[in-house]
Structure 1
Amino acid sequence: MHWDDLKIFLAVAREESLSGAGKRLKLDPATAGRRIARLEEELGATLFAKSPQGYAPTEAGQRLLPHAELAEQAIFSAEEDIRGQSGQLSGQIRLGAPDGVANFLLPQVCSAIVERNPDLDVQIVALPRLFNLSRREADMAITVSPPTAGRLTVQKVSDYRLHLAASQRYLDRAPPIERTADLRGHRMIGYIPDMIFDKELDYLGELGIDRVSLASNSVAVQFNWIRQGGGLGIVHDFALPSAKGVRKVLEGAISLTRTFYLVRHVDDTRLERMNRFATALTDGLRREIARLEGVA
């Protein structure tokens, strides 16, 4: 077996299609299909069952999968040993994150890491959903809930705080808000209810608010609505310093605490390069959250 064929096998298994594997590997799908056929002929077994839903590993494919992953880890380890001689991080690391942390924390934290490691490329995938690390959608991910299944390691990064907030422009023209009962009749900004991908993000539901006049699955869109005077919404304390004129409302009565976790594939904990990046990332996030919450 050749590593190049196993690499294509892993990509097809993770993407569940030849086109997805080809896009991941920058390879023509027809070439990927021929390489899979060659591997199947060499092994004397069918590795994928094709259906309208895509390519699913057969029993033989499932047996090959852990061996291919071990080969992948061996290649990563060899590359790391060679690159690690410089004492700096290098190569590419892809980080998945909800767009709140991706917009307001990761840019400055990751910029500082890359400044110290100029041969390192960091990619931030900012999507309001969970990431599948087993399919290598990302090398590691920031989450707001610890996953309970899969071959994953979970590390607490930091708690963070959120408060109800609005722009002074909105508050100047809206009825006064002195207690939680006064929120009735005010325009609320938040998530699209049926697109909340994690129960920890159901902030308004926790407050008993069932109508959201301006809703988006993006924290950045919600934040901009609040900043422009669209209404009231829950805001990360670490985002407040970037919005002049936005202030907390009912700070003593409405205060939420959530937690960020760093989630990694268990096999990657054997890679010193990934461990060093994870340490730099978590240390940087903790410092930045403490700094920005102190300003808010």
Structure 2
Amino acid sequence: MDETPSLDDLALFLTVARAGSLSVAARETDTPLPTLSRRMARLERAIGRTLFTRGPSGYSLTAEGHSLSRRVADLAEVQQAARQWVQQGQGPLPVRITAGFWTSRHLAQTMTPDHSALWRPAFVPSNADLDLARRAADIGIRNRPPDSTRLARQRLRRIDYAIYAISDGVADYVGLPDTVASTPSQRWLRATHGDRITTTASDPRLCLDLALAGFGRIVLPTFAGDAEDGLQRQSDAIPELSHDEWLVSHSNARHDPPIRAALDAIQAVFARR
């Protein structure tokens, strides 16, 4: 080893390892892409080992990379704890909440701000599971309970999906492009009505706007579709898409006052429905 790797470089390494993409990690850490590339190369020189296989599909970990990621997995948790300690007494702390688009939107529409609270929401809408065990976010709302024993979980509610449109006369569908249709509801739509998807948008909110404009039917969770005045439900609940929703947090971090307050606020939102 030529030199001791910096903790900052190791933290960036963990983000790149989790994201599997230098560009995604650059956005998440607000680090310029060339800078991030140089720092990963510097880290490899510092430890004298190759951590990544670089290719068109992104940055994949080598065996040495996997070994290092396991050894420094707790670094993100330590950083977050230190960050919160430093910020104590400086006003409300951001609590990072990750959930699917519709659940994030529902929380943003229904939570009531408390300006004396210990926390403020920092939404990270994501249909991909961020690693809460390694503190990639503070709170997650998931469609299945976590496997990790480091995570606490609580069942929130049952989620159903149905088809919506502005009227019975709308026959075609609005959906995400095939390249980004990764959620179960979008995969179901492609599998069952793919030949009738005539309008697409890469953003779920735009899909809703297009459905409200009459371009086609849309598949939505019933809590979102029933709340839209301009839409009418066109089907019963779709059995293949129904699932439980779980509130997930780190077993230790959930006792931090800001995160505990955020968990209580989220539970209160779902208790009011």
Would you say same fold, with TM above 0.5? yes
Aligned pairs for 1:91-240 (under 5 A) are: 91=94, 93=96, 95-103=97-105, 105-109=106-110, 112=112, 115-117=115-117, 120-125=120-125, 129-133=127-131, 138-146=137-145, 155-167=154-166, 170-171=167-168, 174=169, 187-191=171-175, 194=178, 196-199=181-184, 211-216=195-200, 218-240=203-225
What CA distance in whole angstroms lies between the structure 1 residues aligned with 2:207 and 2:26?
A: 36
Paired letter, 2:54: S
Kept in 2, the 8 Å contact 1:143–1:261? The answer is yes
With over 3 angstroms needed to count, the CA separation of the structure-2 counterparts of 1:114 and 1:26, relative to structure 1, is farther
1:192-241 deviation digits (Å, cap 9, x = unpaired)? 595542435566689x7665344546543443344334455444443356
Residues 239-264 of structure 1, C-alpha deviations (whole Å, 9 max, x = no match):
356533533446xxx23454323455
Q: 1:219 and 1:56 mapped to 2: Cα distance? A: 29
Instruction: Name the larger-Rg structure.
Output: 1
Matched-pair contact (CA < 8 Å) for 1:89–1:277: no
Quote the offset at 1:73 in angstroms: 1.8
Cα RMSD of the aligned pairs, angstroms, is 4.2
Distance in 1 (alpha carbons) for counterparts of 2:219 and 2:213:
15
Q: Would you say the 8 A contact 1:191–1:218 is kept in 2? A: no
- Identify unmatched segments of 5+ residues in structure 2: none
Query: What is the Cα deviation at residue 47 of structure 1?
Result: 4.2
Q: CA offset at residue 157 of structure 1?
A: 2.2
User: 1:96–1:141: 8 Å Cα contact kept in structure 2?
Assistant: yes
Aligned 8 A contact 1:145 1:198 in 2? no
Structure 2 SS opposite 1:255: coil
Q: Which residue pairs with 1:270 in the alignment?
A: 252
The secondary structure found in structure 1 opposite 2:122 is: strand
Match of 1:59 among 51, 59, 63: 63
The farther-off stretch of 58-67 and 190-199 is 190-199
Amino acid at match of 1:144: N
Find the aligned partners of 1:64 and 1:157 in 2 and give their Cα distance. Answer: 36
Higher helix share: 1
The separation in 2 between residues aligned to 1:82 and 1:64, in whole angstroms, is 28
* Contact map agreement 1:109 1:284 (CA 8 A) in 2: no
Letter matched to residue 108 of structure 2: P
Which residue type is aligned with residue 120 of structure 2?
L
Deviations 1:14-41 (A, max 9, x none): 3446565555444455554555555445
Letter in 2 for 1:7: A
TM-score by length of 1: 0.63
Q: Secondary structure at the match of 1:159?
A: strand
Q: 2:194 and 2:42 mapped to 1: Cα distance? A: 57
Distance 1:228 1:29 in 2: 39
What is the identity, as a one-letter code, of the residue corresponding to 2:141?
Answer: I
Q: Does the C-alpha gap of structure 1 residues 116 and 199 become closer, same or farther in structure 2, counting only changes over 3 Å?
A: same
Distance 2:70 2:104 in 1: 32
The 1:5/1:249 distance shift into structure 2, 3 A limit, reads: closer
- Change in CA separation of 1:187 and 1:161 when aligned onto 2, cut-off 3 Å: same
* Structure 2 CA distance for aligned equivalents of residues 224 and 133 of structure 1: 31
Structure 2 CA distance, aligned partners of 1:15 and 1:269?
23
The residue aligned with 2:84 is: 80
SS in 2 for 1:187: coil
Contact 1:5 1:39 in 2 (8 A): yes
Q: 1:183 maps to what in 2?
A: none
SS of corresponding position for 2:229: coil
Residues 22/223 of structure 1: CA separation in 2 closer, same or farther (3 Å cut): closer
